[in-house]
Amino acid sequence: MVKYRIVQIGAGNVATHISKAFQEVGHSVVQVVGRAEANARALAKEVGAAYTITMSNIDKTADRYIISVPDSAIPNVLSALPQLSGIVVHTSGSTPASALQKVSESYGVFYPFQTFSKARSISLKGVPFCIEASGADVVSALSQIAASIGGKPVEMDSEQRRWLHLTGVFACNFVNHMFSISQVIAQEKGLTFDMLKPLIRETVSKALEGGPENSQTGPAIRGDSETIEKHVAMLKDFDTEWRDIYRLLSSSIWNTAQNND
C-alpha cells in the first residue's frame, strides 16, 4: 500500500475518526490544523502528529490535505489557506467539490457516509466514501485511500451527494429522534428503554434484510383510526410537537402505502 503524508484540517468528530483510521493502517498524519487549541492538541497527540492553530503555518510538503470542518467554516478555511501542491479534499455532504479549486490544482470530495461521535470508536469497513474530483487521477487516488481504511469508494457528483446526505437525515437523525421520543415516554411511565431493544433490533433487521417497503406494521398502515386517536390523546402530557409528529407520520405511512398499491 502506498503510504501518504497527511495534514488534517479540523479536529472534530469526522477528523478524529478518519485521522485515527489513516494512522492505524500506516499512513502518516503529519500535522493537525485546528481552530480550538485543546482539540487540535488532543487529536495530534492521539495520532502522533504536530499541530498548529495558525493556518499559515500549514505543512506545505504533505501529499493529502483533509478538510473536516463544519460546512459553514469551509469558506474561512479556504480563504486562509495558501496554494498547495498536494491533493486537497473536504469531507462535506453538501459542499460542491469546486469550492476547493482555488487552493490546489488537485482537489476533490472525500465524504464518508456515516454518523460519527467522538467518544465512540467505529469501523469504517464497508462505509461508502463519496468521491468526486478534479480529474480521473485524483478520483483514483482518493478511491485508493478510501479503500486503504476499509471504506467503499463510490464516485458520484455533487448533486447525488447532496441527495445521499438528505437520505441520511431521514435514516439516521430522524430515526434517532424517534428512539429518543420512545425513550422519554417509556421512562416517564415507569418503563425502560431496555424493554424496547428487542423490538428495535427486529425492526431494523427486517428493514435491512427485506426492505422497509415490505416491513411496515402498526395502526397507521392498517388504517386503525381508533388506536391512532387514543395515542394522540395520550400524548397530550408531552410536547405538542410529538402529537403533531404522530398525526403527520401516521398520515404519511397511510398515503405512502396507497401510492405503492
Interaction with a copy of itself in 86-105: which residues (CB under 8 A)? Answer: 94
Sign of CA dihedral 135, 137, 139, 145: negative
Assess 248 for contact with a copy of itself (CB under 8 A): yes
Minimum CB distance to a copy of itself, residue 168 (Å): 6
Between 2 and 234, name the residue whose CB sits nearer to a copy of itself: 234
Minimum CB distance to a copy of itself, residue 49 (Å): 25
Between 22 and 246, name the residue whose CB sits nearer to a copy of itself: 246
Minimum CB distance to a copy of itself, residue 253 (Å): 5
Task: Show contacts with a copy of itself in window 179-208 (CB under 8 A).
Answer: 179-186, 189-191, 193, 195-204, 206-208
Number of residues that bind a copy of itself (CB under 8 A): 95
Question: How crowded is residue 39: how many other Cβ atoms within 10 Å of its Cβ?
Answer: 19
Assess 117 for contact with a copy of itself (CB under 8 A): yes
Q: From 24-32, 35-43, 101-109, 220-228, give the range in contact with a copy of itself by CB under 8 A.
A: 220-228
The identity of residue 105, as a single letter, is E
Binding map of a copy of itself across residues 7-26, x = CB under 8 A, - = no contact: ------x-------------
CA angle 12, 17, 19 (to 5 degrees): 90
First to last CA, the chain: 51
Q: How far apart are CA 117 and CA 17, in angstroms?
A: 9
From 54, 120, 121, 136, residue interacting with a copy of itself (rule: CB under 8 A)? 120
Assess 35 for contact with a copy of itself (CB under 8 A): no
Minimum CB distance to a copy of itself, residue 15 (Å): 15
